[in-house]
Amino acid sequence: MDALEKGCGPEYELACARLHELLVRIAMGEVFRRGSRHQIAGPELDDLAHQAAADALMRITQKIHGFRGDAKFTTWAYRFVVFEVSSKMGRHIWRISHARFDMEEWAQVPDRGGADPVDYWQARELVEAVHDAVATALSARQREVFVAVINGVPLETLARQLKTNRNALYKTMFDARKKLRARLVAGGHLGTAG
């Protein structure tokens, strides 16, 4: 850790390389654990892990002077890479495009598990509207918090990572939900509360 605090030189480079190896292993474990749930596999999963590890390394080197030693350094570093994996997987999910069918094509889709194809299509359209609203209606900060919370990042971890507190996160989520609801109501996807 001392070598990381120096910020330059061969010791720093070696410490960064060793830390990066550790972060890649942690990120790989996290993306493999979460990947199947998000239908991500193969090289894409590997790429997400390496991106998360690289971004976590950058954050760690920027914030190394803030490490107080309350926990082991590896535990402290672990939360950075887990947060980056959550963030990257959340962003990746929003980018996945979904094929759209017209009503005739939906009528030809077999009924599986008792779900009506039209109901399924409407639900899918709602999901796409939510994805679009998250991408366009929310501020960058609201989007970051919303995606992290949806991906299960604990509020305490998120608050520390973003240098804020739980109350500020609750307010951000409240405002984000309000904007999303307004966008979905305006788009005809939700009814107005009466």
First to last CA, the chain: 58
Number of Cα atoms under 13 Å in the Cβ half of residue 166: 5
Looking at the predicted structure, is the pLDDT value of residue 175 above 90? yes
Those residues whose C-beta lies under 8 Å from the C-beta of residue 174, and which sit 6 or more positions away, are none
What is the model's pLDDT at position 117? 58
Q: What's the rounded mean pLDDT across residues 137-145? A: 91
pLDDT of the residue at 126: 81
Average pLDDT over residues 168-180: 93
Burial 26-64 (b: 16+ CB within 10 A, else e): bbbebbeebbeebebeeeebbebbbbbbebbbeebbeeb
Q: What is the mean pLDDT of residues 58-71?
A: 80
Beta carbons within 10 angstroms of residue 81's beta carbon: 28
Average pLDDT, the chain: 78
How confident is the model at residue 67, as a pLDDT?
74
pTM over 0.85: no
Dist CA 3 CA 17 (whole Å): 11
* For residue 101, pLDDT beyond 70: no
Tell me what pLDDT residue 123 has: 74
Residue 191 DSSP class: P
- Give the CA angle between residues 30, 49, 157 to the nearest 5°: 50
Report the pLDDT value the prediction gives residue 98, as an integer from 0 to 100: 46
Alpha-carbon span 80 to 53, nearest angstrom: 9
pLDDT grade for 97, boundaries at 50, 70 and 90 = very low
Task: Reply yes or no on whether the pLDDT at 31 is more than 90.
Answer: no
**Dist. CA 75–CA 116, nearest whole Å:** 48
Task: Report residue 163: phi and psi, to 5°.
Answer: 55, 55
Phi-psi group of 98: left, alpha or beta (phi > 0 → left; psi -120 to 50 → alpha; rest → beta) = beta
